[in-house]
């Protein structure tokens, strides 16, 4: 167990809608809000809860690939667009593929710890529906090693995780693993249906598991995964305030409204190397164990987690990386209902990347917002039970194929 | 000459037309795919897009680019393998752009028919006029030393007439695409009396590579598709004539269109389909077919009259429907033309009266809901069982129309146009997007 040199709190989380296929109001050919609208909505949402821009010392924005999706860089300069009160304040942009949001949070935490700020406004976003999925695959591919791109699948990342799924099938059985995927999908959608901002909020499929058990078709998509095994292509932004005790006081927010950061694990793996074991998320395991050790707790004391299920197979392997199930037993653990909202260990309670959506650079921040809501009883219809003897929530945000990892433990 | 060699130099006549542009697209893609095979490096593939209008050819090049983009986006996974050796092409976007270039690079747009003199094969999709086709085929055949093969897209002229008229000695075959060729899966293949076996074999291989469903038809004017469609029109017109004893012409047209669409569960009513194809085109097809059909008059004075009044239908270049027998707003029927009043009558003025006349009808399933439905029989059987016994004018018209449609199908088999009942049904299912074949037992 380590002790932070001073206390760090998260408060005032805000999510925009995760927009994209699945939402009734989404139409690929109709004009939609731009990245500036998403950034502003999320930023203003949080500022409103913390007494305005004058209370903010520093800002951090996480985004993966606006340079290609939106032909936009220099993103820190959008803070003054959110609120004139942020003009001339220090701000930075961070990037770590789909782990970007987690890095934005870490950057904010470090500013608090470094005592350069008492209040940090952290935002993460991505606006991806500017291109068709086939080009989206191009824009997301740099999350992996560029040298592998040429010989990779047209849908590069789905292709890599399809390979992982294939390896997992071979080692632990295809049928049971696919059943695990199907249950994972069902949980994701059932949770999303309870969260108004979720991309799958309007999902009306009756038998979710049966839909998810449809056979993959490599002629159309992938060898081992179907579209339902994949996270969404999303436009969305999330924001949260990171504060010291001093910061909370300044904003007039009682400590009881905030969650406390009690541990984190931020680790990187070599992007130029293939995963040491295709059937395991070894880097996520390291990040999570670092975070739990830092907090001085075990996974048994955690009541809920937000984990990076960019694909169902990633969700299954993440369950194992968290230590909830042994290697190879993830599918059984999920099938038994343990990770459902009424299960022993509810995971991704507003739908995760598959149900809520995956605006890549925003996902890590969205995880923190959801945990803040759940631990503070602010999750509305999506609220799960947080037992008194397990007052901790855990997030694990992943960039690339298990390369950039941020795990954070929050305490109610 | 191998399949590949034959496809190294090709011309499409009428390349800027609705059918020609589709044939051009499919052939360009097939030729480019051949050119990209590792063994064909360095070989040239030339596809002349021949038409009379430079302006239309410019439009066709834009159409090609848009369509090839869509095709490339769909098959990008396969294209990544095709371009695996091209290490400079990494993103899907780069691969797609290269493919568009490679396909477009095969095509040579031109207004000069002489370009076809070097071709080994000619696709023809010009006006449905046998004298014109014979004239052009003869001219190319005379000036071309390659003994070229002719693939005609005629939908109605007997192939033997073209073969003998142009002196092609069997180097011709009917290869009838459906509109639009890039989308419709069906191709009717028709041999003339003398069509060479190798021409037929090539046609089958080409159709297979284009993933088309081939239905063979005998060389009798109109073949299966128009053989059914034109007779279907004539029957609808006969019914209109009966109905106008008690209705206006516009009301009768509206009634028959409603019967044939909603109650026969078809994608379009018969008069809407005439508009889609074009009143002029339908009238012309009948004109072409009529001399070849004995004991039967394939001719509609009503269509002639409409033509005389300037009612033509057809489509705008963007594919939207022009006004014809009916008036359309955003693809929906809003009025029906009355040749007596010489004016469009708004639907709102005739709808209620027509529906009252037709009487209470069994509720039909929606065409959209059953066209791709594997269990459609379970929906259609009980529906037609109800139609069979339902009282009222509308139910009667539906029954008689369905029976007539079946009779026409049976006639096509009996008089030797189609090889089988199944072939007739395939043409209507795939070429006309019907939800069920006309030869069925629903009303027996």
For B254-280, what is each residue's pLDDT tens digit?
Answer: 999 999 999 999 999 999 999 999 999
Averaged pLDDT for residues B273-300: 91
Shortest alpha-carbon distance between residue B336 and chain A (Å): 33
Shortest alpha-carbon distance between residue A150 and chain B (Å): 5
Query: Distance of CA A15 to CAs A27, A367, B262, Å?
Result: 21, 10, 47
Shortest alpha-carbon distance between residue A69 and chain B (Å): 13
A138/B93 Cβ within 8 A: yes
A141/B76 Cβ within 8 A: no
- Tens of pLDDT, residue by residue over B38-74, are 999 899 999 999 999 999 999 999 999 999 999 999 9
Q: Return the CATH number of B3-217, one of 2.60.120.620, 3.30.1490.20, 3.40.50.720, 2.40.37.10.
A: 3.40.50.720
In contact, B317 and B284? CB cutoff 8 Å? no
A-chain CB neighbours of B81 within 8 Å are none
Nearest to A154 among B76, B84, B87 (CB): B76
- Fold annotation for B225-431: 1.10.1040
Residue B444 has pLDDT above 90, yes or no: no
Closest Cα partner for B215 from B24, B431, B437, B438?
B431
pTM: 0.88
Structurally, chain A folds into a number of domains equal to 1
In contact, B136 and B24? CB cutoff 8 Å? no
The whole-number pLDDT of residue A29 equals 86
CA dihedral B42, B43, B44, B45 (to 10 degrees): -130
In contact, B125 and B17? CB cutoff 8 Å? yes
The pLDDT > 90 percentage for chain B reads 90
The whole-number pLDDT of residue B373 equals 87
Tell me the C-alpha distance between B238 and B259, whole Å. 14
A138/B92 Cβ within 8 A: yes
In terms of residue numbers, what domain contains A265? 1-412
Other Cβ atoms less than 10 A from the Cβ of B55: the count is 9
B-chain CB neighbours of A151 within 8 Å are 84
Q: Which range, of A119-123, B26-30, B178-182, B364-368, averages the lowest pLDDT?
A: B178-182
Can you give the residue ranges of every domain in chain B? 3-217, 225-431
Other Cβ atoms less than 10 A from the Cβ of B322: the count is 14
Q: Which residues of chain A have pLDDT under 50?
A: none
pLDDT band at B319 (very low <50, low <70, confident <90, very high): confident
Closest Cα partner for A126 from A12, A238, A13, A46?
A238
The whole-number pLDDT of residue A361 equals 97
Averaged pLDDT for residues B357-384: 92
Report ipTM (2 d.p.): 0.89
Other Cβ atoms less than 10 A from the Cβ of A31: the count is 6
| Mutate: best of A154, A220, A222, partner B, most B CBs <10 A | A154
Q: What count of residues does chain A have? A: 412
A154/B77 Cβ within 8 A: yes
The answer to whether B97 faces chain A, any CB pair under 8 Å, is: no
Q: Which range, of A176-180, A215-219, B22-26, B103-107, averages the lowest pLDDT?
A: A215-219
For A36, the token pair is 């500036």
The whole-number pLDDT of residue B292 equals 87
A149/B90 Cβ within 8 A: yes
pLDDT band at B317 (very low <50, low <70, confident <90, very high): low
Nearest to A154 among B84, B87, B92 (CB): B92
The answer to whether B87 faces chain A, any CB pair under 8 Å, is: yes
A-chain CB neighbours of B77 within 8 Å are 153-155
Size of interface A-B (CB pairs under 8 A): 24
A150/B90 Cβ within 8 A: yes
The whole-number pLDDT of residue A293 equals 97
Nearest to B77 among A132, A151, A153 (CB): A153
Sheet of B343-346: strand order equals B326-329, B332-338, B343-346
Shortest alpha-carbon distance between residue B175 and chain A (Å): 29
Tell me the C-alpha distance between B252 and A99, whole Å. 67
CA B427 to the chain's CA centroid: 10
User: Hunting for tokens 């989308």 — which residue is that?
Assistant: B183
Nearest to B73 among A132, A149, A150 (CB): A132
Average pLDDT, whole number, for chain B?
A: 94
CATH of the domain at A371: 3.40.47.10
Interface of A with B (CB under 8 A): 132, 134-135, 137-138, 141, 149-151, 153-155
In contact, A288 and A367? CB cutoff 8 Å? no
| Mutate: best of B84, B90, B98, partner A, most A CBs <10 A | B90
């Amino acid at each position: 167990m380590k002790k932070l040199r001073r206390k760090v709190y998260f408060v005032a989380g805000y999510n925009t809608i995760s927009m994209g296929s699945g939402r009734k109001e989404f139409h690929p050919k109709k004009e939609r809000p731009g990245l500036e609208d998403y950034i502003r909505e999320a930023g203003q949402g949080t500022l409103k809860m913390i007494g305005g821009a004058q209370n903010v010392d520093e800002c951090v924005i996480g985004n993966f690939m606006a340079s290609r999706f939106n032909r936009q860089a220099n993103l820190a300069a959008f803070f003054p667009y959110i609120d004139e009160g942020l003009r001339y304040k220090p701000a930075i942009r961070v990037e770590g593929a789909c782990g970007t949001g987690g890095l934005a949070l870490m950057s904010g935490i470090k500013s608090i710890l470094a005592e350069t700020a008492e209040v940090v406004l952290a935002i993460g976003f991505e606006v991806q529906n500017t291109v068709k999925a086939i080009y989206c695959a191009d824009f997301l591919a740099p999350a992996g090693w560029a040298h592998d791109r040429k010989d990779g699948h047209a849908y590069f990342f789905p292709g890599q995780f399809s390979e992982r799924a294939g390896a997992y099938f071979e080692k632990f059985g295809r049928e049971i693993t696919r059943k695990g995927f199907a249950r994972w999908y069902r949980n994701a959608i059932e949770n999303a249906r309870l969260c108004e901002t979720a991309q799958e909020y309007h999902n009306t499929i009756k038998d979710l598991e049966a839909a998810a058990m449809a056979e993959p078709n490599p002629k159309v998509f992938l060898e081992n995964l179907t579209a339902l095994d994949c996270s969404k292509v999303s436009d969305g932004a999330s924001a949260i305030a990171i504060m010291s005790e001093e910061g909370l006081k300044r904003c007039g927010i009682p400590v009881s409204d905030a969650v406390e950061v009690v541990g984190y694990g931020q680790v990187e793996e070599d992007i130029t190397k293939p995963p040491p074991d295709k059937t395991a998320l070894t880097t996520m395991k390291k990040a999570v164990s670092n975070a739990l050790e830092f907090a001085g707790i075990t996974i048994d004391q955690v009541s809920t987690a937000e984990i990076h299920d960019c694909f169902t197979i990633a969700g299954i392997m993440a369950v194992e990386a968290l230590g909830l199930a042994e290697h190879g037993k993830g599918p059984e653990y999920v099938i038994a209902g343990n990770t459902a909202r009424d299960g022993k260990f509810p995971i991704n309670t507003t739908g995760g990347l598959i149900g809520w959506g995956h605006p890549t650079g925003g996902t890590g921040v969205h995880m923190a917002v959801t945990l803040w809501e759940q631990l503070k009883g602010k999750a509305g219809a999506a609220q799960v039970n947080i037992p008194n003897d397990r007052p901790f929530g855990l997030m694990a945000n992943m960039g690339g194929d298990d390369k950039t990892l941020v795990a954070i433990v929050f305490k109610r | 000459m191998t399949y590949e060699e034959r496809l190294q130099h090709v011309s499409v006549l009428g390349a800027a037309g609705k059918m020609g542009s589709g044939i051009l697209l499919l052939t360009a893609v097939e030729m480019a795919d051949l050119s990209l095979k590792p063994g064909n490096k360095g070989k040239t593939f030339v596809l002349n897009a021949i038409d009379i209008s430079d302006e239309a050819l410019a439009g066709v090049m834009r159409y090609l680019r848009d369509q090839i983009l869509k095709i490339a986006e769909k098959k990008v996974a396969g294209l990544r393998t095709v371009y695996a050796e091209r290490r400079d092409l990494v993103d899907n976007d780069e691969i797609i752009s290269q493919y568009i270039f490679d396909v477009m690079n095969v095509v040579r747009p031109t207004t000069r028919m002489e370009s076809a003199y070097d071709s080994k094969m000619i696709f023809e999709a010009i006006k449905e006029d046998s004298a014109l086709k014979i004239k052009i085929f003869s001219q190319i055949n005379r000036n071309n030393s390659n003994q070229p093969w002719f693939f005609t897209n005629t939908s109605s002229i007997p192939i033997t007439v073209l073969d003998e008229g142009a002196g092609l000695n069997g180097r011709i075959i009917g290869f009838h695409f459906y509109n639009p060729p890039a989308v419709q899966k069906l191709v009717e293949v028709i041999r003339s009396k003398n069509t060479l076996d190798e021409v037929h074999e090539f046609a089958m291989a080409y159709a297979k590579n284009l993933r088309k469903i081939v239905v063979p038809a005998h060389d009798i004017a109109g073949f299966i598709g128009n053989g059914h469609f034109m007779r279907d029109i004539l029957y609808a017109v006969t019914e209109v004539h009966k109905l106008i004893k008690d209705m206006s012409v516009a009301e009768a047209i509206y009634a028959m269109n409603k019967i044939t669409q909603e109650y026969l569960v078809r994608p379009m009513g018969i008069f809407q389909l005439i508009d889609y194809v074009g009143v002029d085109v339908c009238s012309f097809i009948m004109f072409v077919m009529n001399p070849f059909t004995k004991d039967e008059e394939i001719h509609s004075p009503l269509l002639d009259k409409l033509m005389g009044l300037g009612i033509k239908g057809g489509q705008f270049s963007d594919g939207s429907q022009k006004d014809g027998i009916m008036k359309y707003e955003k693809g929906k029927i809003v009025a029906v033309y009355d040749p007596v009043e010489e004016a469009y009558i708004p639907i709102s003025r005739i709808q209620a009266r027509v529906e009252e006349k037709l009487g209470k009808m069994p509720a039909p399933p929606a065409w959209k809901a059953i066209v791709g439905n594997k269990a459609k029989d379970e929906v259609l059987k009980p529906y037609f069982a109800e139609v069979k016994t339902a009282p009222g004018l509308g139910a009667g018209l539906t029954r008689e129309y369905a029976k007539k449609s079946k009779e026409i199908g049976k006639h096509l088999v009996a008089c030797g146009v189609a090889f089988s009942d199944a072939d007739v049904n395939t043409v209507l299912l795939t070429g006309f997007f019907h939800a069920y074949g006309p030869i069925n037992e629903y009303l027996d």
